Structure 1
């Protein structure tokens, strides 16, 4: 049986989420929803969009991080196929250990594999991890129209973009 410090030292395994992970995704997001860093999403969304998510699974099988990548096909007024990274969170005990960077790199690779011309995210934080990976502050104008309409202006989130 691994000791607690060994569990922390073992890097989590990255994998696509499954529908069966929906409750664990919601549980992982809950502290971030309470703090205002993430929007609350219903369990049905996690179930219906499980395929959007990459997860970091700890050695004991618990989810220690996740990021969703939603693909938006060309919509009227959009410059091309784009993706939105959402619900990006890492459990408190895994923060500062590279889990978020690994998840972000995997999501970026997935977006390249899908031929996305641009990626967007909205953050209420400083966005430092995104900025270190090539994202820049952006306006809502070039982002997918339906995603922009879904943003809550009361959250005062910054939009960041990565274009290829």
Structure 2
């Protein structure tokens, strides 16, 4: 697996007034749709139906904004080991977005840090993500370019080659 040199991930700023990262609930589905919609329309995120956010709400970590909306979200899906391919349990980060009013305030870093902690709790060997952007936040947290062939097969097969995404991974 291709990974960057292991170094401790930067710790997010600890602002005592900041809302904590929490797991999303089914009732957060409409807020997840509203937060994700501008990013999907811009092409930064894959368009997903509202039913996806209802059925998969438990896969999301979220941060609440002071106005009651969501400041940001990040999905984490775990994939079981695949002995025939030699893959250990792995995870995929998806649908990572931070609302425009919350950008630059550490929300994204807090979400990513929480996802890394959750992945360790789940004993995942590695995390993967695909990005159409620069991936700078991921790179600062120890991710490195990787081949989709190293990722969970079901996820890798779902990647749309027309999006020209860069696959990144991090060993845990």
Both structures adopt the same fold (TM-score exceeding 0.5)? yes
Residue equivalent to 1:135: 143
Q: Name structure 2 gaps, 5 residues minimum.
A: 1-16
Ranges of 4+ aligned residues in structure 1 off by more than 6 Å: none
In the TM superposition, what whole-angstrom CA distance separates every residue of 1:63-97 from its partner, at most 9, and x where no partner exists?
Answer: 11000000111234152000000000000011111
Partner of 2:167: 159
Name the count of aligned residue pairs: 156
Which deviates more from structure 2 when the two are superposed, residues 126-135 or residues 71-80? 71-80
RMSD, matched Cα: 1.3
**SS at the partner of 1:41?**
coil
Map of 1:11 onto structure 2? 18
Q: Relative CO higher for 1 or 2, CA cutoff 8 Å, sep ≥ 6?
A: 2
Identify if the C-alpha distance between structure 1 residues 140 and 99 changes in structure 2 by more than 3 Å, giving closer, same or farther.
same
Corresponding position: 1:150 with 2:158: yes
Match of 1:102 in 2: 110
In structure 2, the partner of 1:45 is 52
- State the match for 1:55 in structure 2: 62
Aligned to 2:80: 73
Match of 1:115 among 123, 129, 139: 123
Instruction: Give the distance between the partners of 1:69 and 1:62, measured in 2 at CA.
Output: 20
* TM-score, reference length from structure 2: 0.87
The TM-score, its normalising length taken from structure 1, stands at 0.92
1-side partners of 2:134 and 2:142: how far apart? 14
